[in-house]
Amino acid sequence: AAKLSPEKLLCQLRDRVNITMIQGSDSPFDTSEWQQYLPGKSLNETVGHLGHCAVVSSAGSLRSSHLGQEIDSHDAILRFNGAPIKGFEEDVGQKTTIRLVNSQLVTVEEQQFQREALYNTGILIVWDPAPYHAEIHEWYKKPDYNFFDSYKLYRSTHPEQPFYILNPKMQWQLWDILQENSPEQIQPNPPSSGMLGIVIMMTLCDKVDVYEFLPSKRQTDICHYYQKFHDRACTMGAYHPLLFEKNLVKHINQGTDEDIYIHGKATLPGFRNVRC
Ligand code: NCC
């Protein structure tokens, strides 16, 4: 596979990864039932024009990073799944603008998802690993985790909180670019929530700082900053093509190697600042 220059790769990401949320006009969601649940406003209208954004991975290396203040200085902050703030403010900050959750959490951990206050802040976006380049109808009939009932329940108990369903086509558009730019065959599993969140913020923001996705000198086998659990696969990937995602982010990073090493920080341009 030919490796593109960072500039060309940014253009490919900008032009080929189509990030949209499911709307009430998208068949099979164009029913009167679904109109009650899907947000009326688009994500763009809800967030407005965002300047400097932060994406906070859930990696164990955020522990003792003291990055909280720096993270909170951003205009908008994206976090993942059940990553908590309470008790970790010093290292991860306390603001949340968007929380990207996978369908497994919304389904398998439904009790906590419906109950825990953690999920009540900011905008929620759920995504599900759809079959490779599946039509939306095909996916709707056979999602990886059937999160739709849990989504509807959450929407009816929190009608004021924006909560979107990511259109699944973007994950494979992104995967194709990962594959084309990797020297090896990568497993046909969708990118991690981390990688999806990074690209979502690149569409919404002028500039995106990504924390502890490219591991710093604090790199550890501890999976999450909020748990004691050890597993190297959390950082390098097992199901998700994490290693390839990280190589791609390293390739388009506009920050310094020192920022990665000291702060675990990579800096990416928003797509509106990419000239092709
Ligand atoms: O662990 P997870 O990911 O919630 O982490 C969010 C994103 O942070 C980045 N990360 C995390 C840990 C680490 N050591 N290094 C990292 O770079 C990754 O980019 C990751 O995507 C997911 O991607 O949705 C994932 O979700 C969990 C789990 O489902 C949720 O936490 C909900 O409980 C998956 N773990 C399991 O299924 C056991 C994980 O594989 C992927």
At 83, give phi and psi (nearest 5°).
-65, 115
Residue 126 tokens, joined: 């759920």
Residue 1: pLDDT over 70: no
Residue 9: pLDDT over 90: yes
Cα–Cα distance between 177 and 213 in angstroms, integer? 19
Q: Provide ipTM, 2 decimals.
A: 0.99
Mean pLDDT for the stretch of residues 253-259: 98
Centre of ligand 1 to C-alpha 27, Å, is 30
Find the DSSP H helices in the chain. Answer: 6-16, 32-37, 43-47, 68-72, 89-92, 103-108, 110-115, 136-141, 148-157, 169-180, 193-204, 233-236, 242-252, 257-258
Centre of ligand 1 to C-alpha 242, Å, is 10
Residue 236: pLDDT over 90: no
List the 76-80 sheet strands across, edge first.
Answer: 163-165, 123-127, 98-102, 76-80, 50-56, 205-211, 265-269
Q: What is the pLDDT of residues 117-160, one digit of tens each?
A: 999 999 999 999 999 989 999 999 999 999 999 999 999 999 99
pLDDT tier at 238, thresholds 50, 70, 90? confident
Centre of ligand 1 to C-alpha 80, Å, is 8
Name every residue whose Cβ is closer than 8 Å to that of residue 25 and which is 6 or more positions away in sequence: none
* pTM of this prediction exceeds 0.90: yes
